[in-house]
Amino acid sequence: MEAGFVGLGIMGRPMALNLLRAGHRLRVWSRRAESMRPLIDAGAIACDSAAQAAQGAQVVFSMVADAPDVKQVALGERGVADGAARGCVFVDMSTIAPGAARSIAARLAERGIDMLDAPVSGGEAGAISGSLTIMVGGNSNAFERVRPLFECLGKSITLIGDSGAGQVAKACNQVVTGISVAVIAEAFNYARVNGVDGERVREALLGGFAASRILDNHGGRMLARNFKPGFKAWMHQKDLRIVLDEAHRLGIALPAAAATAQLFNAMSGSSLGEDDSIGVLKLYERLSGGVGP
């Protein structure tokens, strides 16, 4: 397929490479020209704007930092809307507020461009291995057209609902994963201060209702004291801020998410922001019972 890809950072670059490797023709653009180099080496066509990346493309992806960036890529000067033909699908895979996604989709619809919000979970490792979880909002016709490309990027691909629903599911995912990481650190720290081996606790809990991928994967890395990201604490902090802002706007109480956001705030404010979010264990250790080994 003819596709465009805008935003070639930690996540976007390996995702674009997976599309190229699957045989799709790819036009790429990134604000930082040097980010395009590995893609050009792999056969992508370098462009000088999002508009040019969208020219002749059936699908244009974006993977950028936040809602203003998506808006700029989609609707700004020399943006996707300036280059894309009617019938093109714009697929934003960034994590932004559901309301922002809906608003950009409505503006693009006026120009004859379908938009899917398709944020992902699985981090850099999932992006590299093509095993991301992709949560999609938008119409099912556009979803079906893009599906062959999604299958180059992820393993679990779900059309959640209408425009914005992908971002709602991603918000749920970040709330559940963030709090799960925090509570497992909380439990391991409680065990340590009680003189109990966290690894034995982890094994026992994996045999019952407490079993989870976070306990298995993130819990294992915590106990190995491997705090290398993965997914940085300040990024999880940013995602929770998006959810909490939207919850404020809509009048939804998220007490567990709010409490956990405070922990990620404290990490960012105390030199732990560049750690993986599992570094929240160090914060618990500082709070109580001294610092672990």
Catalytic hit among 71, 155, 170, 228: 170
- The least distance separating a second copy from the CB of residue 214, rounded to whole angstroms, comes to 6
* Contact stretch for a second copy (CB under 8 A) within 41-49, 52-60, 232-240, 243-251: 243-251
Extract the tokens encoding 112.
């004859």
Note whether 277 binds a second copy by CB under 8 A: no
237-251 per-residue burial string, b: 16 or more CB within 10 A, e: under 16? bbbbebbbebbeeee
Q: CA 280 to CA 188: how far, in whole Å?
A: 11
Site for a second copy in 157-186 (CB under 8 A): 158-162, 164-165, 168-169, 171-173, 175-177, 179-180, 182-184, 186
Site for a second copy in 65-104 (CB under 8 A): 98
For the residues of 61-101, what is the DSSP string, one character each? EE--SSHHHHHHHHHSTT-HHHHPPTT-EEEE-S---HHHH
Note whether 14 binds a second copy by CB under 8 A: no
Q: CA 156 to CA 150: how far, in whole Å?
A: 9
- 27 versus 218: smaller Cβ distance to a second copy: 218
- The least distance separating a second copy from the CB of residue 256, rounded to whole angstroms, comes to 5
- The least distance separating a second copy from the CB of residue 251, rounded to whole angstroms, comes to 6
Which residues 6+ apart lie within 8 Å of 26 measured at CB?
Answer: 3, 4, 5, 16, 19, 20, 39, 43, 44, 45
Q: Which of 208, 224, 291, 293 binds a second copy (CB under 8 A)?
A: 208
Note whether 44 binds a second copy by CB under 8 A: no
Q: Is 134 in contact with 158 (CB distance < 8 Å)? A: yes
Q: Is 113 helix (H, G, I), strand (E, B) or coil?
A: coil
Note whether 139 binds a second copy by CB under 8 A: no
- 70 versus 97: smaller Cβ distance to a second copy: 97
Note whether 156 binds a second copy by CB under 8 A: yes
Q: Which of 193, 229, 241, 265 binds a second copy (CB under 8 A)?
A: 193
Establish whether 170 is a catalytic residue.
yes
Q: CA 290 to CA 293: how far, in whole Å?
A: 10
Strands 120-121 and 132-137: antiparallel
Q: Which of 32, 41, 209, 293 binds a second copy (CB under 8 A)?
A: 209
Q: Which of 122, 138, 273, 279 binds a second copy (CB under 8 A)?
A: 122
